[in-house]
Amino acid sequence: MKTSPFPGLILALFLSCAAGGNAMAQENDFVFYSELARAWYEAGSYFEWQSTTENNNGAVVDVHYRTFGDPEDPQLLLVHGYPRSSFDYEEMIVYLQDDYYIATLDFPGFGFSEKPLNDYSYMLEDDARLLDYFVREIVEFDDFAMFTHDRGVSVGLAFLGHYLDEDRPYTINYHFLSNSGMFLPLANLVPGQRVLLDPVRGPAAIAELKSRPRQTEGDPESLAYCRHPGLQ
């Protein structure tokens, strides 16, 4: 990766993070809990993505995305984490959109993108392939920096691996990693993550999680924050 001409970008990232078709936003049954969320949705667009995960059997999902700024400015891809969405960057974009052409999306299962059930598998590898499709076919980036956060770091590294191993018609000139936990001695791991690192309890916890049926009914907030007893 190249050195970056992005000093202003680095400052804005820290200031705010511390705190194919172009269809417009589609008809939906979303419940909006704020006007900010409604505005974010209504200003967005959609494209279709066909999953590359084998057992998803070619399922097609609608992916929500947004762009900001002047297409002639330096390009910046923002990749969200878990359990978040592109809206995480709403305040940061205010500092950047006058200087950068920005693109960000909601991965399937997050934000305003489609959330298929029926044994649909949500995979980091599939999201990495989705990012490649997004920058090539939807926003047509050719030379861009990438900022990734949390789970988005894992997706971004898989995406970067494909970029380094395969011929691509674009250049990734910089990769910012935020809250990645890559250096474990300095990572702020929650108790459940420490369980997964244990050579005995980790495999047992994963096996039990896999055996649990997917929960699709109940209070959305309770479902979003539910945890396996062994991961508390």
Question: Does position 150 have pLDDT exceeding 80, yes or no?
Answer: yes
Instruction: Reduce the DSSP state of residue 196 to 3 states and report it.
Output: helix
Helix (H, G, I), strand (E, B) or coil at 174: strand
Spatial distance between the Cα atoms of 120 and 10, rounded to a whole number of angstroms: 37
Greater confidence (215 vs 228) lies with 215
- What are the residues facing 66 on neighbouring strands? 104
Helix then strand count (H, E) for the chain reads 8, 7
Cα(44)–Cα(201) distance, rounded to whole angstroms? 43
Rounded Cα distance between 137 and 211, Å, is: 38
Please give the Cα distance from 73 to 88 (Å, whole number): 22
* Per-residue model confidence as pLDDT tens digits over 38-69: 999 999 999 999 999 999 999 999 999 999 99
For the entire predicted model, the pTM comes to 0.78
What's the Cα-to-Cα distance from 139 to each of 10, 13, 71, rounded to whole Å?
A: 23, 22, 9
CATH of 7-188, one of 3.40.50.300, 3.40.1130.10, 3.30.70.100, 3.40.50.1820: 3.40.50.1820
Lowest mean per-residue pLDDT among 71-80, 200-209, 215-224: 215-224
pLDDT at position 25 is 53
pLDDT of 177 strictly over 70:
yes
Largest CA distance in the chain: 53
- For the chain, the structural domain boundaries read 7-188, 189-232
Separation CA 57–CA 113 (nearest Å): 19
Return the DSSP state at 168. Answer: -
44 alpha-carbon distance from chain centroid: 16
Average pLDDT, rounded, for the chain? 85
